[in-house]
Amino acid sequence: MNDPTNPPPAEVPESAQSSKGKTLAVVLGLAGLALVASYFGLRRQESLPAEVPAIPMEPAGETAAAPPAMPETSLPERDAEVRSLASRLSPEPELARWMGEKDLVRRFAAAVSNIAEGSSPRTVLGFLAPTGAFQVTQVDGTTVIDPASYARYDTVARVIGSVDTQVAASVYRELKPLIDQAHAEIAPPGQTFSSALSAAVQHLLKVPVQEGPVEVVSEGALYAYAAPEFEDLSPAQKHLLRMGPQNMQLIQAKLRELNSSLGLPPVADR
């Protein structure tokens, strides 16, 4: 049985202008937050690494034979602009706090790539940690996830629900060259960011919404899903499931809106 509580860490990437920098907050906020679902495991006591591993500050592997589509910019230098204008995306105060992280463009690109592959982006999205510990309860002699565990993700779901998807899509199209620059540092040859984003959205939308209690089984200090259809999900999909049915439905609805607004391939049936 797979261990949903301790997925392998996500790989960290090895590796314009004023108007574009000013609007970067919108696309980073929506897509990054929509992918937040992928963070936590079913721990009896959850904890985070003290620090998120450093993300390289300069791209690697550049050659004169393959010039970028636009003059490359120092991506971390956009952070101050992103933070100062993050309020355009949502009036929720949590967004400004989350935008206090460094190297936001690369975090966004890395999170999308991780989700597209089904792995956990916890290394780059660790700042989205909920408070409190994972909890279980007993229902008719069966161990199930306590609804209080789902409530820890209510803030994230609320912020996502407050985002204007049409605005985010418009800004995404304007900033795509900048995002492509970050993606090119970590992407396999020939893979575009658009294809990675589409794969990530499709992957999360395949997670079934479970109404009612979700049974888990104890495995030492951790828990695993009792139902094979849940235990066999990817680490990224399991993390979304752990947010609870109401939060899942809100996030998946926003992902569907984003998918349509960006003109990505239609969502496949589950």
Give the pLDDT score at 270.
56
Give the pLDDT score at 43.
45
pLDDT in tens, 52-98: 333 333 333 333 344 344 456 677 777 776 666 556 777 788 877 88
List the chain residues with pLDDT less than 70.
1-73, 81-87, 174, 268-270
How many beta carbons lie within 10 A of that of residue 86, not counting itself? 22
What value, to the nearest 5°, has the Cα angle with vertex 226 and ends 221 and 232?
A: 100
Q: Which residues contact 165 (CB under 8 A, 6 or more apart)?
A: 30, 254, 257, 258, 261
How many beta carbons lie within 10 A of that of residue 234, not counting itself? 21
Six token digits for residue 175: 């900033």
Return the closest-CA partner of residue 108 out of 165, 179, 52.
179
Return the closest-CA partner of residue 46 out of 169, 148, 106, 129.
129
Give the pLDDT score at 82.
62
Give the pLDDT score at 85.
55
Question: 253 burial class (0-12, 13-18, 19+ CB within 10 angstroms)?
Answer: middle
> What is the three-class DSSP state of 195?
helix
Q: How many helices (H) and strands (E) does the chain have?
A: 11, 4
- Rounded Cα distance, 72 and 66, in Å: 12
Return the closest-CA partner of residue 96 out of 112, 82, 109, 76.
82
- Strands 222-225 and 216-219: what pairing? antiparallel
Against a cut of 0.75, is the pTM above it? no
Phi, psi of 223 (to 5 degrees): -130, 150
Give the pLDDT score at 87.
63
Give the pLDDT score at 125.
86
Give the pLDDT score at 64.
36
Give the pLDDT score at 263.
84
Six token digits for residue 6: 């301790």
Give the pLDDT score at 203.
96
* Rounded (10°) angle between helices 104-116 and 165-184: 90
Give the pLDDT score at 84.
63
- Rounded Cα distance, 268 and 1, in Å: 28
Beta strands per DSSP E along the chain: 136-139, 142-145, 216-219, 222-225
